Structure 1
Amino acid sequence: MLKSPTTMTEQDMLRWIDGLPSEIDAETYDHLAGITIEPQELAALRRLDPMGTEYRRICAALYARLSGRSDYTPERDERSGLGSTPDIWRQISPYSFKSPKLVSEFLSSWAAIISALDVEPEQSVIEYGPGSGQALLMLARCGVRAFGVDIDADSLDLVRRQSEAMGLDVQLELGAFGEGFAGQRFDRVLFFEAFHHALEFDKLLLGLHDRLLPGGKLVLCGEPIVEEGQHASIPFPWGPRMDALSILCMRNRGWMELGFQRPFLAELMARCGWSVRHMQSPVFRANAYIAEPMGDAVRPGDQIMLPEGWGAPEVTHRWTVAECCRIPLPDRLRATSNLSVTVANYLPTPKTVTIESGDARRTRILQPGQTEDIDIGTTSASHVSIRTSLTAAPNEPRHLGIAVLECRIQPA
C-alpha cells in the first residue's frame, strides 16, 4: 500500500489518486479515508447561506473540478461499473475486499438498519440505491415486502440474480431517487450509504413525503453526517467530501460524494417537513437517522434533532443553553400558519424571553414556576428564534435559558 501524509494539496492529491490502481484493498481503502485537502472554496462556503443557490453553485463547481467532469448527470455518473459479476457470493461488496474486519462492520450496519426500520412481516420497505442488495435480501428473508430502485442496471441485475438464487421475492425497478413503482406508497423508505449521492437532496426530501403510507418512516443509515468541526473531510455545512477515498470515487466513477454537518441536517430536515431522531451506533456506518413527517407541533422534549444551542431532551421540554436558539419551520407551512410557542421558567429567578419570527416579536417576563403560551401569528420566516439570558441554576452544571415545551404550527 502506498503511504502518504494525512493532509495534501489539491494538486498533489489529484496527481496521487490518478496514479493509484483501479482496484484497491481494504487497507488502502481505510488509508485513503484519512487523507484530506482544504478546498480553496472553504471560506466562501462557510460564509454563505448553505440553503442558497450560490452555495449550491460553488459545490457543483467544486465537484466538477475534483471529478474532472463538466457537470453531474446521475444516469451517467452513478454507474457501478460492475459489469457481469461471475460470482454473486464472493465478488460483491463488501465480500470482494476479502477483509473480515470490514465485513463485520457491514454486518453490524445491516443489523442497525433492521432495528431502525422497526418493521413487521408483510410491511413494505423500498430502498433507494441498494447496491449489492444485502439489506433488501435480509428483509425479504424476514417476510418483509422488499422493493429496490437503482439508477444502475448492473446493480439491479446483481440483486436480481441473488434473489432468484435464494428463492426470494424482491421487486426491482430502474429509476432515480424518489422514483419507481408508479407512485406506490410504502411503510418505510430506506437509504443506506446512498442519500449522499443526491445533489438535489432538498427536492428529494420534499418528494419523499408522497412515498410513505400513514405512520411511515424515512431511514437514513450509514451516511457521512458529522458534528460541526469534527471531521476534516466535511469542513463546511455540506458539500463534496474532502478525503482521498471520496475524491477517488468522484474522479474514477463520477459519483457524487457529499457530506453533511449535523446542524445543517437538522435545519434541512425540518425545513423539508421531517421530524428526525438519531440512533447512535459505535460503528460509524451504522448510525441511523429516523425521520417522520412533521405534524402540527415541534416538541423539543422529544428525542428529535434541533440546531445547536439546545440542551438534551427531557421528555416534556428542552432547555435553551445559548442566548439565542432556533426552531426551523417547514417550508410548506410558512406564511400560511399561525405559530405559538409554549415556554416555562423552572428557575428560581424571573426570566425575560423574546420570541421572534420574521417581523413578529413578542417579549414576556416569566416568574419562577410560570408557563406561558406566546402567540406569534403568521410568518414567512424560515425559523422561530428564542432569546433569553443564561442563568446558573442550583446544583446544575449548565447555564440555562428557558424551558421550551412546544412550538405549534396550525393552519391559519
Structure 2
Amino acid sequence: MLGRDDVIAGYRVILGREPENEQVIEHHRHFASRSDLFTALLQSDEFRDSYRQRLTAPKVITLDQLDEVAADFQRGDRERWQGHSLQLPDWFDVTLDPAGQAYLDQMLRLWEAITNRSGYQAASNEDTPEIGDLDAVFRPAFYASGDTSFAGGQLMAMGHILMRSGISPGQRVLEYGAGFGLTALSFARLGAKVDTVDINPAFCRAVRTSADRYQVDLHPHVGEFGHNPAGVPGAYDLIFFYESFHHCLDFERVIPKLRELLTPTGRILMAGEPIFDVLCPDMPYLWGFRLDWENVAVMRIRGWMELGFQKDFLVGRFDRAGFDCAEYRDPNSHWAQVYSFSQRG
C-alpha cells in the first residue's frame, strides 16, 4: 500500500497539481507501487486532455529539422536553437505503461527517428573512438577543455562522490561507464580496490595507462551495465555511476542485478545524471530521451542513448529492487548532485 507522500508525488509529477483532498489521497493508496499509480494517472482523462497544452515547448523542433540542428551544434551556433525542444511525433503514445515492452519498443522507434539509424547496439552506438588519441594521464577528460568553470564543476562532483561514499582502504569499488576513470583513480589512490566497466575499449586502455602510472589497484573491463568483473556475487562495497546511467536502456534488468553485486552493507551512488523533478517539454514522460535541442543534436551526430528520468519514477524502480534513496544536492554544481541508494533489510 502506498504512502501519502507517494500519492502526492504522483499528482505533482503527472498532473502538475496537488490532490484535491485527503479522501482522494486515501483512495489512491491502494496501488501496489508508485509505477502503478503513475501509469494510472498517465492514462487518466485529465492527463490526456492537458498533455499537449502543458508539455509542448513554445519553441519546437521537428524530426525533419534534426540535420540542420546537428549541423549548427557542430558549428557551435547556440543562439538559434536555444530554448527549443523536439516535438514528439504524432505516433508517440505517452500514456503507455512506462515499464512495459510496448513503451520500450516505442522508445527504440523514437531513437531510430532521432538518430537516423536502426538496430541499436550499445557496443557500436555508444562508441567514442576518437578518445584513443587523447592524453589519458596529463590532460584527460575535462582538463583537456581548458575551461576552469566546467572543470571546477566536475571536480566538485568527484569530491562529493568521494565524500558520500564512506569507502575505506581495502574495500571494493565498481564504476560503470567510467570513461577516463578519474573518480575511480581517486578511489584507488585512496587505497580502495577498484574495477571499472566501459563499453569502449579505448577508455579501458586509458584507465589501464593511469593505473600503471600511479601503481594502484585499478582494473578496467570492457563490458555493459550489469557486468560483474569480480565473478562472484556480493563483492562490492560501492557501485557508482557518474554521467553514465543515462545511457542504460536496460535499466529494468540492471537495477535488480546491482543488488546481487553488493555486500550486505554496500551502496549505489549516482551523480551527474539527468534526473527531473516534474514533467516538462524537455522530459515529457517518466523516462525517455531528453528532447532539448543539444541532446537531440548529439543523438543525431553520435547515435547515443541520451536518456533522462523523472526522479520519483527512478526512485520507485530502486525501491522495488529493495533500495532506499537519499538525495544530496549541491548548489554550486549540478553534476555534484548525488543520489545514494542503500539496501533495505
Q: Scaled by the length of structure 1, what TM-score is found?
A: 0.64
Q: Distance in 2 between matches of 1:109 and 1:148?
A: 18
Residue aligning to 1:361: none
Say whether the 8 Å CA contact 2:69–2:293 is kept in structure 1. yes
Q: Which runs of structure 2 are paired with 1:341-360 in the superposition (5 Å)? A: none
* 1:34 Cα deviation from its structure 2 partner: 5.0
Deviations 1:152-202 (A, max 9, x none): 101111111122222323111111111132235100011111111111101
Deviates more, 1:131-140 or 1:243-252: 243-252
Matched, 1:8 2:60: yes
Deviates more, 1:231-240 or 1:13-22: 13-22
Higher RCO structure (Cα 8 Å, ≥6 apart):
2
Residue aligning to 2:209: 161
Amino acid at match of 1:293: Q
Aligned residues: 286
Q: Scaled by the length of structure 2, what TM-score is found?
A: 0.76
* 1:86 Cα deviation from its structure 2 partner: 4.7
Matched, 1:235 2:284: yes
Say whether the 8 Å CA contact 2:318–2:324 is kept in structure 1. yes
* 1:104 Cα deviation from its structure 2 partner: 0.6
Say whether the 8 Å CA contact 1:85–1:158 is kept in structure 2. no
Deviations 1:38-80 (A, max 9, x none): 31259721x2221122222211111111011112111111112
Q: Percent identity?
A: 27
Unaligned runs of 5+ in 2: 1-56
Deviations 1:82-123 (A, max 9, x none): 353252346532122221110011011101111221211111
Residue aligning to 2:330: 281
Amino acid at match of 1:7: K
Matched, 1:188 2:238: yes
Q: Distance in 1 between matches of 2:306 and 2:90?
A: 17
What SS does the corresponding residue of 1:143 show, helix, strand or coil?
A: coil
Deviates more, 1:87-96 or 1:72-81: 87-96
* 1:6 Cα deviation from its structure 2 partner: 8.3
Structure 1 residue corresponding to 2:200, chosen from 144, 152, 164: 152
Matched, 1:18 2:70: yes
Say whether the 8 Å CA contact 1:13–1:244 is kept in structure 2. no
Amino acid at match of 2:62: E
Distance 1:22 1:201, change over 3 A: same
Residue aligning to 1:115: 163
Higher Cα radius of gyration: 1
Distance 1:278 1:41, change over 3 A: farther
Distance 1:81 1:252, change over 3 A: farther
Structure 1 residue corresponding to 2:116, chosen from 68, 90, 96: 68
Residue aligning to 1:226: 276
Name whichever structure is richer in strand by fraction. Answer: 1
| Root-mean-square deviation over aligned CA pairs | 2.5
Q: Distance in 1 between matches of 2:198 and 2:224?
A: 6
Amino acid at match of 2:246: H
* 1:261 Cα deviation from its structure 2 partner: 0.7
Distance 1:180 1:267, change over 3 A: closer
Q: Which runs of structure 2 are paired with 1:383-394 in the superposition (5 Å)? A: none
Distance 1:164 1:64, change over 3 A: same
* 1:31 Cα deviation from its structure 2 partner: 9.3
Q: Distance in 2 between matches of 1:118 and 1:31?
A: 45
Q: Which runs of structure 2 are paired with 1:253-292 in the superposition (5 Å)? A: 253-282=302-331, 283-292=333-342
Matched, 1:212 2:262: yes
What SS does the corresponding residue of 2:103 show, helix, strand or coil?
A: helix
